[in-house]
Structure formats: structure tokens, C-alpha cells
Amino acid sequence: MAPPATGGYIAGSGARFPAHGGRRSTPKPSVIPAMPAPRTLLDKIWDDHLVCSPDGEQPLIYIDRHLVHEVTSAQAFEGLRVAGRRVRRPEATFATPDHNIPTTDRRLPIADPISKQQIDTLRSNCREFDVRLFDLGDADQGIVHVIGPELGITQPGMTIVCGDSHTATHGALGALAFGIGTSEVEHVLATQTLRQSKPKSFEVRVEGELHPGVTAKDLVLYLIGRLTTEGGTGYVIEYTGPCIRRLGMEERMTVCNMSIEAGARAGMIAPDQITFDYLRGRDLVPKDFDRAVAQWATLPSDPGARYDRSETFSGGDVVPQVTWGTNPAQVVGVDATVPDPASMADPSDRSSASRALEYMGLESGTPIAAIPIDRVFIGSCTNSRIEDLRAAASVVRGHTVSSRVRAMVVPGSGRVKRQAEAEGLDRVFTAAGFEWREAGCSMCLGMNPDTLAPGERCASTSNRNFEGRQGKGGRTHLVSPAMAAAAAVAGHFTDIRQWHYH
Amino acid sequence: MQPFTTHTGNVAPLDRANVDTDQIIPKQFLKRIERTGFGQFLFFDWRFLPDGSADPAFELNQPIRQGASILLARRNFGCGSSREHAPWALDDYGFRAVIAPTFADIFFNNCFQNGMLPVKLDEADVDELFRRAAAAEAAGHPYRLTVDLRACEVRDDAGFTRSFAVDPFRRHCLLEGLDNIGLSLKHVDAIAAWEDAHGLGPLQGGAPPQGGAIG
Ligand code: SF4
């Protein structure tokens, strides 16, 4: 049997070109062995995208999709301009402003002139280099990692890059997707390839299933806590096992999204019927969808394929998670207490933990559920999709936000916002006292006016609790959407498994 | 790109693990559309007090560390965001090399794109460098190191010599200060052949539709 061809479609100007035309099945003109060695999902995508591996150089791999946002692209386009280069495949390049935009009334001008300049620069670069832009006024604008899958830009078997570390999100659909720096953005724009040594593969297998009230966010926070912030460095993680298979498409995106917080540049999940059902009918998927599915179905790792490293976890061990420190691996269950640095064996962990507790204004031994909060942020590329908003709304329905809390919901895209409004979720939130905003990154990183004041404590559905991430001096606790919603109502963390749903 | 061959300079010890790129260059300074001028914002939230004055407690603000060009840190340096503004800021501030036991992948890559050398040494060797730096500073002078990319070696003038590993291709590019894009474009025929083999057809000259909902 020939090694399977993988997916990978270029869509542009309404035309869609099948990646393989069924003409060839392997990038190397080698003799196909009768029994090819079993390959992982990563191996298959890698082999298919290897352009060349010249002697003494790092290999060049082809990039199927390049996503671009305003914060990490201006210098790259400027580099092209200075060198007199063009964008090699404008039709494979998609841009949207998301990081540095207001989430309030979009009809008003952007107040900050430097922010405005950055967004105007993206606009003029997209015009000059023929790149498709989902601009602020566009119905399909949104966080780049939300709109990619939503529009069908992201497809199984593709290589996808973006000048953003949470590009790992797209791996949920069975793509190899990772973040790159601005110089590499320029490289991809100019060549449609990337210099890349093949990463090692790491199977993170999750057995069993999650208990009611425990979400994909809790699972990934739990995994990061076990793997540590650098456990995945140098690896691409493939999440496998029955617990992962049971997750819906958006839950899988939440898991892959945070792979980078464990140090892995990419996380991926082999495509299956859930993936295909999610993609069917989306705007930019291949016209001959059934043929594409037949190709995509050959992507999952072959039985017996070898990973460079494997670890197994049990979904049943996971309880709702709350971070207590200033990196995502500093996390415990909601039923636990703030840990004592003195109990940590590693000196570097100990000093990190002490520093974190000081920054967070927390005492060891305090029950997590006794920590009062001031702000709630439901949003970000981790948890701003429709299922996240449904989960949060079902917690909030019939309740009122605590008088000590200011809470906001920021949908991940214009489409998510319209869908939520069609379902009446916006009214559930606003009736309870939440603010309901326009799509963007917002308080996930606080580049726009949505920030924490010094000392404010926030239950956030985003992905980073670094010092100052949501505003200088702000204190971030990462949680699931349901846990954030419950904290908004209670005024402190509370175990969602005991929640009183109306 | 500026080449990196060998560099001798003062060491600034930053005894912290998991230094993330949000700390190296906070988000409020990512709005600029240039590559230069970020040094003034390096470690901004750690470096400056709310009133804008330098925080005397912060490691890099110690008078003896002024003018340092080699940063010494703990493991997982540069984790988090992919922002290349982080190496831009370190470079603009005056750092030419960073030494740590481990680095986050994207930051590590980004350094090589900017003529800056990230050096991985064993945790025990990094410990030893922290000790030597502390001893030198206690004696009233800055600790000096040489980072030699030709010899793949870090050494001081008091007997410390350790070799480090670096990808040969990256080493070559850094030693020569090569333009990575120019180098890759030498393989344009292979790129075109790949595109052809994958049914992508010739390059499209025309502009795709702008804005509006996708048809
Ligand atoms: S939502 Fe947050 S993590 Fe995601 S792309 Fe935006 S700033 Fe980055």
C-alpha cells in the first residue's frame, strides 16, 4: 500500500486546488517499500511538506496557511518592502486585527493613536501585498485562532503558522500548527516555506473520561501542571486516547491551544468524524469535501507508530482547576489550598513559588474557594467560542454577578457573537450584570483599554497568568468558563460541581 | 543581520526561572511598528517603580551591572509569547548573548534571527557561573565572560571553560551574518517543484477579493 497522501488545500479567489490531485503520494522520488514503517500524524504531515533538505542546512518545509495579525507583522512587511520582495502566495495568507483593538463600540474611532497606526499599517500592508484582510468592520473579524477553524481556513494535514504562540490551537483539527517570530513571518511571506528541523514527537495519552463539571480547560491545566512549563520543549504533542476522542471540536481547540504553556510549540489531535462534521459546510473547505475527507482519514498515526516520548494520564483524576501562581503550571484543584513553597523539593520551583505568592498576594494554606475576586474575564482564543459561552451562560442564568465583581464576556469572533445573540446568551449575561463586548483578544493581554488595575484579582478563561499579563500589578487566576461564571456570581472561587443551576 | 563570532563582556546575573517574554517586553510596548528602540522598555515592569524611577532592587539596575552584555538566567528563559520584540529589546539594550540551562523554542529561534546567541549550559555550570559572578561582584568588579561561537566555548579568565552545542547551520548563519531569506530563495526551484507536485499551479498575480463575507 502506498503511504497515504495528506490533506492540504489552497483556497483563494474562490478557487480551490486539491493539494495532490491524486497524482503523487510521497514527496521523495523513492521506491515505496511493500510494508512502509508505521508513521505518526506528525511524520505524515512532515514528510508531505518537506521541500528540500540541502546538505549542511536546516530543512525547508512548505507552509499551507499563514495567518497574520497586526502586532507581529508590520516589521515583516517592511522587510519585504526594503528588500523589494513580494508575498509568494497571497491566497494562502489571511489577516485580521485582533490584539490591539477596542472591544467597545466599533463605530467610534480608535482612541489610542499608536494603536490606530498599527491597525492602519496592517490595512495598508494587506492592500499593498494582496493579502485578504478580515477588517474591524467585517462580519468575520475575530481572534485569529478562532476565525481560522471557523471559516475552514484550518484543515487537517496542513502546515499552519502565525506570528503568535497560540497557533497551536489549529492542531486540534489535525494540522501541524505553530507560532513563529516576526523574522520567520517575513520568511514565510517571501518563500511560503520555513526553515525547520523536525521536532520530536510526544504522545500525551489520556485514558478514561472527564467527570461532570470538569472541562477541556481543566484537563489541559492539569496536564500542564504535571508536564511543567517546559516539559514539552522541543516536542510536538499529539493528544491521544479515549478521553481526547470524546472531546468535541471546540474542546479539542482549548486543549491544543495551551500546548505552548507546557513548552510545546504545537499540539495536535488526529482528525476523526467529529473533525469532519465540524468542517463540513464551512466557507473555505475544499469543494469536493468527500474526497478531502477520504484523504484526511488517512492522517491518524498508524498502529505501532513510535513517538519519541509517551506519557499516560487518566481523565478521571482531573478536578476543576485554578491557577494560584504566575505561570500556568502553578495550578491546583478548586478543592485544594494554596501550596507551601517550603514543601517543594526543587530550589528553583521553591523560589518561583515564593515570588509568585508574593506577587499574587496569597498565603500558603488558604483554601482556593476562599479567595475573593474583583474581576471576571470570559474570552480569549482558549475559551471564547460558542460552546464556552453556552457553558458560562448556563451557570449564570437566573443569578446575579456579585456586587464586588466587574465581569465581562468577549466573544472570540463576530460569528460567535452573532450566534450567541441569536441564542439569547447575551441577554443572560447582561441581565446578570456582565458586560457584553465586540470580538478581540481584549483582557487576555490587555493591549487595548481592557486591563486590570494594580492589585485587582481576576478569574480569567485565558491562557497566561504571567505577572502583569492582564495589566501591571494585576493578579490572574486561570479557570474554565463555567468556573469563571460561578466565581462572578459567588464573588470568590467555587466548586462548579456543586453549582445550583436554574 | 549582524554576525556573531566571539564576544567578551560583563555578565548580568538574573537569578530567575521561567522568565517569560511578557516580562522581557510588556505588551504596552508592542504597538510600535519598528524593529528598533525597544531597549528602553526591556523588563519595564521589573525595572521601574510606578513613579517611573528605576527600582533599586531589580537585578539589572545594580550599578555594577551597567553596561553588561551577557545575560545569565535560569531555565526556560523566554517562555510564553512569540514576540520577537523580546530579542529586539535585549539587543537594543546591549545584550549580545544569553546563557541559561534551557530556553523556550520560539525565543531561541528568534535570537538566531537577530544576531544574538542563546547559549545552553548544564544546570550545574550555570550554577557555577552564578557563583563566580557573585564572587566577582562581592569583590567590587563585574564578572567577565567570553562567548566564542567559533570555538563553541564559554570561558572566563579564571579557569572556567565549557563548550556548548549549537546547530551547525545556525552557527554558520550567525558567524557569517547571513540573510536567511536570501539563502532560502536559492532553493526557489525546489519550492516551485513542490507547489507543482501539489497541484498549486503557477503563482497568482491577481489580488484576491478584499473584505466582505466569504462567498
Ligand atoms: S486571545 Fe490572548 S492568547 Fe489568544 S491570540 Fe489573543 S492575546 Fe494571544
- Choice among A9-18, A43-52, B111-120 with the minimum mean pLDDT: A9-18
Q: Which of A463, A466, A470, A476 to mutate to test the pocket of ligand 1 (most atoms within 8 A of CB)?
A: A463
Residue A91: pLDDT band (50, 70, 90) is very high
- The residues, any chain, with a CB within 8 Å of residue A15's CB and separated by 6 or more, are none
SS3 A471: coil
Q: How high is the pLDDT of residue A35?
A: 75
DSSP string, A263-330: T-SEEE----HHHHHHHTT-TTS-SSHHHHHHHHTT-SPPTTPPPSEEEEEEGGG---EEE-SSSTTS
DSSP string, B96-133: -EEEES-B-HHHHHHHHTTT-EEEE--HHHHHHHHHHH
SS3 A436: strand
Measure the CA–CA gap between A357 and A378, rounded to whole angstroms.
24
Q: Enumerate the residues of chain A whose CB falls inside 8 A of the CB of residue B172.
A: 56
Measure the CA–CA gap between A48 and A53, rounded to whole angstroms.
13
- How remote is the CA of residue A191 from the centroid of ligand 1, in Å? 26
pLDDT score of A154 more than 80: yes
- How remote is the CA of residue A325 from the centroid of ligand 1, in Å? 19
Query: Would you say A21 and B199 are in contact if contact means Cβ atoms under 8 Å apart?
Result: yes
SS3 A249: helix
- Which of B39, B114, B25 minimizes the C-alpha distance to B78? B25
Residue of A nearest to B108 (CA): A181
Measure the CA–CA gap between A99 and A72, rounded to whole angstroms.
10
Q: How high is the pLDDT of residue A14?
A: 32
Measure the CA–CA gap between B112 and B87, rounded to whole angstroms.
9
Residue A33: pLDDT band (50, 70, 90) is low
Residue A245: C-alpha distances to residues A252, A266, A318, A382 (Å)? 9, 18, 16, 19
Residue A1: pLDDT band (50, 70, 90) is very low
- Which of A445, A485, A440 minimizes the C-alpha distance to A467? A445
Measure the CA–CA gap between A176 and A168, rounded to whole angstroms.
8
Interface membership of A85 toward B (CB under 8 Å): yes
Instruction: Count the Cβ atoms, other than its own, within 10 Å of residue A195.
Output: 22
SS3 B12: strand
Q: How high is the pLDDT of residue B212?
A: 31
Query: Would you say A47 and A24 are in contact if contact means Cβ atoms under 8 Å apart?
Result: no
**Residue A113 — φ and ψ, nearest 5°?**
-65, -30
Copy the grid coordinates of residue B88.
Answer: 529586539
- Are A468 and B30 inside 8 Å of each other by CB? no
Measure the CA–CA gap between A224 and A216, rounded to whole angstroms.
12
Whether residue A261 has its Cβ less than 6 Å from ligand 1? no
Burial grade of B215 (CB within 10 A; 0-12, 13-18, 19 or more): exposed
Measure the CA–CA gap between A471 and A474, rounded to whole angstroms.
5
- Are B76 and A51 inside 8 Å of each other by CB? no
- Which of A336, A408, A373 minimizes the C-alpha distance to A490? A373
- Are B106 and A24 inside 8 Å of each other by CB? no
Q: Which B residues, 98 through 117, put their C-beta within 8 Å of a C-beta on chain A?
A: 102-106, 109-110, 113-114
Q: Calculate how close chain A gets to B143, using CA atoms only, in Å.
A: 23
DSSP string, B163-210: E----HHHHHHHHHT--HHHHHHTTHHHHHHHHHHTT--SPP-SPPPP
Q: How high is the pLDDT of residue B203?
A: 62
Query: Would you say A425 and A395 are in contact if contact means Cβ atoms under 8 Å apart?
Result: no
* Beta strands in A103-154, from DSSP E residues, in sequence order: 132-133
Residue A230: C-alpha distances to residues A300, A479, B23 (Å)? 26, 21, 17
- Are B81 and A112 inside 8 Å of each other by CB? no
Whether residue A168 has its Cβ less than 6 Å from ligand 1? no
pTM: 0.92
Instruction: Give the position, in ligand 1's atom list, of the atom nearest the Cα of A69.
Output: 5
Q: Tens of pLDDT along chain B (215 residues)?
A: 899 999 999 999 999 999 999 999 999 999 989 999 999 999 999 999 999 999 999 999 999 999 999 999 999 999 999 999 999 999 999 999 999 999 999 999 999 999 999 999 999 999 999 999 999 999 999 999 999 999 999 999 999 999 999 999 999 999 999 989 999 999 999 999 999 999 886 665 433 333 333 32
SS3 A478: strand
Interface membership of B56 toward A (CB under 8 Å): no
Range A100-107 average pLDDT: 88
What angle separates helix A216-227 from helix A249-257, to the nearest 10 degrees? 30
Residue A108: pLDDT band (50, 70, 90) is confident
Measure the CA–CA gap between A85 and A186, rounded to whole angstroms.
10
Measure the CA–CA gap between B197 and A29, rounded to whole angstroms.
11
- Which of B6, B43, B73, B214 minimizes the C-alpha distance to A14? B214
For residue A257, the one-letter residue type is: N
Residue A150: pLDDT band (50, 70, 90) is very high
pLDDT score of A11 more than 70: no
DSSP string, B17-72: SS-BHHHHS-GGGTT--SSS--GGGTTHHHHB-TTSSB-TTSGGGSGGGTT--EEE
Measure the CA–CA gap between A106 and A177, rounded to whole angstroms.
31
Q: Name A314's bridge partners.
A: A207
> pLDDT by residue (tens digit) across B69-98?
999 999 999 999 999 999 999 999 999 999
Which residue has 497557533 as its cell numbers? A167
DSSP H/E element including A345: none
Instruction: Give the position, in ligand 1's atom list, of the atom nearest the Cα of A382.
Output: 4
Q: How high is the pLDDT of residue B108?
A: 98
Residue of A nearest to B28 (CA): A447
- Are B203 and A54 inside 8 Å of each other by CB? no
- Choice among A38-42, A267-271, B26-30 with the minimum mean pLDDT: B26-30
- Are A263 and B32 inside 8 Å of each other by CB? no
Query: Would you say A386 and A416 are in contact if contact means Cβ atoms under 8 Å apart?
Result: yes
Q: Calculate how close chain A gets to B57, using CA atoms only, in Å.
A: 14
Measure the CA–CA gap between B150 and A315, rounded to whole angstroms.
49
Whether residue A441 has its Cβ less than 6 Å from ligand 1? yes
- String of b and e for B12-42 (b: at least 16 CB within 10 Å)? bbbebbbbbbbbbbbbbbbbbbebeebeebb
Measure the CA–CA gap between A159 and A138, rounded to whole angstroms.
26
- Are A466 and B34 inside 8 Å of each other by CB? no
Whether residue A463 has its Cβ less than 6 Å from ligand 1? yes
* Structure ipTM: 0.92
> pLDDT by residue (tens digit) across A394-403?
999 999 999 9
- The residues, any chain, with a CB within 8 Å of residue A40's CB and separated by 6 or more, are A201, A238, A301, A302, A305, A306, A307
Whether residue A410 has its Cβ less than 6 Å from ligand 1? no
- Are B169 and A57 inside 8 Å of each other by CB? yes
**Residue A129 — φ and ψ, nearest 5°?**
-105, 15
Interface membership of A464 toward B (CB under 8 Å): yes
* Beta strands in A50-158, from DSSP E residues, in sequence order: 50-52, 60-62, 65-68, 93-95, 132-133
HEC profile for A380-423?
Answer: CCCCCCHHHHHHHHHHHCCCCCCCCCEEEECCCEHHHHHHHHHC
Measure the CA–CA gap between B173 and B178, rounded to whole angstroms.
5
pLDDT score of A50 more than 90: yes
Closest by Cβ to B215, choosing from A14, A83, A130? A14
Measure the CA–CA gap between A226 and A435, rounded to whole angstroms.
35
Q: Name A291's bridge partners.
A: none
